């Protein structure tokens, strides 16, 4: 057994999806909501901000970044869609979504009000978030520490945001519209803001040496943050210190590459607004204050526990195909509702994680011994026989391999095409449930009926799916499909 299989098996056992009903979605929060802080505007509204072109950083796909640091005390942000709108556009699972907010590079100490000088373009709403998200804290009693508190501000001027729980945390920002093209919000932290800077690494702007200097200069900051166009990492400062020798430029480059690979897998190729990458970041919260076991994905963030931190912040470990932990969590955010089926969610998200592994390591998504075992398993499996055994831990990776055989047979466009069909709602009368929708969308993208292959490999296919597939009148799958592998076969 390889270390890869061992490590992944632990991940599968530990990973969970936490949806805590008591956390109100940002988009549903009015400024006066009970969980939001009070806000008071006392100064006249200045003019709207036109962004300084010199501050615009290109994202990986050429579009401008959302966040721009003008000075240490002033940041500018461009408008983003609501996370709920992105969940609808991407047809993903509500409760496992991208982060609405970006990091401001500041934290608010306990018992402190936050004072900001803000310029908000007409029609815009500035959302101020305070806190460090980790639902395990909320679940185990210290609820205030586990929820980010959001306050909406719509008027420019000096504003005071009261942290309702009074426990402080990082400061986050978002601008939502409608605002005119080219308009941005400017947020300044005056000397009297109450907030204090934290070690903050902005990819392409901050050098690793500057970041290490900040770690030394800001000993009271509880946490440090690293941000790229699609990536936000929140770490305990002690964790950042521990891994400070890891080149932060390269570290964020790996995260950006992995996310780009998963975005490509799901067909976010920019061919239309519906199929474009999201401007909202993937927020990884490295939680060292409570051992959450492995990792989990929730609303607007993915929490990575101490067990996985070592693999997730060390360049040499990320370069190995063994460690897919954080990319698996990204998969939970990528996964459409139509692919989220009964009993196999933890396996099909590894399709996304494996795409990241291929991009980051240049190696196949699964190692050769795992594939060899999978081919043996699949060769012996018959549709509808011993399904419970197929779904047992002993065969989990064989099931992942089985799903990916369709990509290997049909080409890399297969998964992208399938996700585009889902976002296009190509089969509007189809039930969204994964057991029904997944085999139908997969068949349509592949160009042949994959339902028998799904059933051979222990994935359920509902009678409704089979009925629907008869109306598509697709040919049967190629006979060699169950023999396909990422590794050359003799």
Q: Specify the residue, 295 or 445, whose C-beta has the smaller distance to Zn ion.
A: 295
User: What minimum distance in Å lies between the beta carbon of 146 and Zn ion?
Assistant: 19
Q: Specify the residue, 135 or 195, whose C-beta has the smaller distance to Zn ion.
A: 135
Q: Specify the residue, 230 or 396, whose C-beta has the smaller distance to Zn ion.
A: 396
Q: Is 232 among the residues that bind Zn ion (CB under 5 A)? A: no
Q: Is 15 among the residues that bind Zn ion (CB under 5 A)? A: yes
| Piece of the chain touching Zn ion by CB under 5 A; list 8-16, 185-193, 399-407, 434-442 | 8-16
Report the alpha-carbon distance of residue 151 to residue 419 in Å, rounded. Answer: 34
Q: Residue count at the site for Zn ion (CB under 5 A)?
A: 2
Q: Is 330 among the residues that bind Zn ion (CB under 5 A)? A: no
Nearest to 457 by CA among 393, 392, 394, 377: 377
HSE on the CB side for 462, CA within 13 Å?
Answer: 15
Residue nearest to Zn ion (CB): 15
User: What minimum distance in Å lies between the beta carbon of 302 and Zn ion?
Assistant: 10
Report the alpha-carbon distance of residue 254 to residue 313 in Å, rounded. Answer: 10
At 196 the three-state DSSP class reads: strand
Q: Which two tokens stand for residue 483?
A: 């023999």
HSE on the CB side for 133, CA within 13 Å?
Answer: 29
User: What minimum distance in Å lies between the beta carbon of 403 and Zn ion?
Assistant: 15
User: What minimum distance in Å lies between the beta carbon of 46 and Zn ion?
Assistant: 46
Q: Is 325 among the residues that bind Zn ion (CB under 5 A)? A: no
User: What minimum distance in Å lies between the beta carbon of 18 and Zn ion?
Assistant: 11
Q: Specify the residue, 323 or 456, whose C-beta has the smaller distance to Zn ion.
A: 323
Q: Specify the residue, 13 or 379, whose C-beta has the smaller distance to Zn ion.
A: 13
Rg (CA), the chain: 23
Q: Specify the residue, 15 or 98, whose C-beta has the smaller distance to Zn ion.
A: 15
Report the alpha-carbon distance of residue 422 to residue 428 in Å, rounded. Answer: 9
Report the alpha-carbon distance of residue 345 to residue 478 in Å, rounded. Answer: 26
What are residue 226's DSSP bridge partners?
201, 233
Report the alpha-carbon distance of residue 211 to residue 38 in Å, rounded. Answer: 33
Whole-angstrom CA distances from 55 to 117, 204, 401 are 19, 11, 44
User: What minimum distance in Å lies between the beta carbon of 282 and Zn ion?
Assistant: 15
Exposed/middle/buried for 57, CB within 10 Å: 0-12, 13-18, 19+? middle
User: What minimum distance in Å lies between the beta carbon of 332 and Zn ion?
Assistant: 6
State the binding string over 340-379 for Zn ion (x if CB under 5 A, else -).
------x---------------------------------
| Piece of the chain touching Zn ion by CB under 5 A; list 12-20, 53-61, 143-151, 452-460 | 12-20
Residues in contact with Zn ion by the rule CB under 5 A: 15, 346
């Amino acid at each position: 057994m390889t270390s890869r299989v061992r490590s992944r098996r632990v991940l599968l056992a530990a990973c969970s999806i936490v949806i805590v009903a008591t956390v109100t979605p940002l988009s549903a929060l009015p400024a006066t909501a009970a969980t939001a802080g009070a806000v008071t505007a006392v100064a006249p509204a200045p003019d709207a901000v036109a962004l300084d072109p010199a501050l615009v950083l290109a994202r990986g796909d050429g579009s401008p970044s959302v966040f721009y640091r003008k000075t240490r005390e002033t940041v500018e942000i461009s408008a983003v869609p609501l996370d709920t709108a992105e969940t609808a556009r991407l047809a993903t699972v509500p409760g496992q979504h991208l982060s609405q907010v970006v990091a401001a590079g500041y934290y608010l100490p306990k018992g402190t009000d936050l004072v900001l000088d803000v310029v908000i373009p007409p029609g815009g709403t500035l959302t101020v978030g305070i806190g460090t998200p980790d639902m395990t804290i909320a679940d185990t009693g210290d609820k205030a520490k586990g929820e980010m508190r959001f306050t909406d501000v719509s008027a420019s001027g000096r504003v005071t945001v009261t942290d309702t729980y009074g426990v402080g945390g990082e400061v986050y920002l978002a601008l939502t519209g409608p605002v005119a093209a080219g308009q941005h919000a400017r947020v300044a932290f005056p000397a009297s803001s109450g907030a204090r800077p934290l070690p903050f690494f902005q990819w392409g702007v901050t050098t690793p040496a500057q970041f290490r200097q900040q770690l030394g200069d800001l000993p009271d900051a509880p946490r440090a943050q690293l941000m790229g166009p699609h990536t936000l990492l929140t770490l305990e400062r002690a964790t950042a210190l521990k891994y400070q020798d890891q080149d932060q430029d390269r570290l964020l480059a790996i995260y950006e590459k992995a996310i780009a690979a998963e975005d490509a897998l799901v067909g976010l190729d920019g061919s239309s607004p519906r199929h474009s990458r999201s401007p909202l970041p993937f927020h990884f919260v490295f939680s060292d204050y409570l051992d959450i076991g492995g990792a989990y994905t929730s609303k607007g963030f993915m929490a990575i526990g101490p067990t996985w931190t070592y693999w997730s912040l060390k360049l040499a470990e990320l370069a190995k195909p063994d460690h897919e932990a954080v990319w698996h969590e990204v998969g939970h955010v990528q996964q459409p509702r139509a692919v989220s089926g009964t009993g196999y969610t933890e396996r099909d998200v590894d399709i996304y994680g494996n795409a990241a592994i291929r991009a980051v390591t240049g190696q196949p998504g699964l190692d050769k011994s795992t594939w060899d075992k999978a081919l043996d398993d699949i060769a012996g499996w018959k549709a509808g026989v011993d399904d419970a055994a197929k779904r047992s831990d002993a065969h989990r990776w064989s099931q992942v391999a089985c799903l990916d055989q369709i990509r290997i047979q049909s080409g890399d466009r297969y998964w992208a095409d399938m996700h585009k069909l889902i976002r296009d709602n190509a089969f509007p009368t189809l039930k969204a449930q994964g057991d029904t929708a997944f085999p139908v969308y997969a068949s349509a993208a592949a160009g042949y009926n994959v339902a028998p292959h799904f059933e051979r490999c222990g994935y359920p296919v509902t009678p409704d799916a089979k009925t629907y597939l008869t109306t598509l009148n697709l040919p049967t799958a190629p006979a060699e499909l169950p023999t396909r592998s990422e590794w050359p076969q003799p």
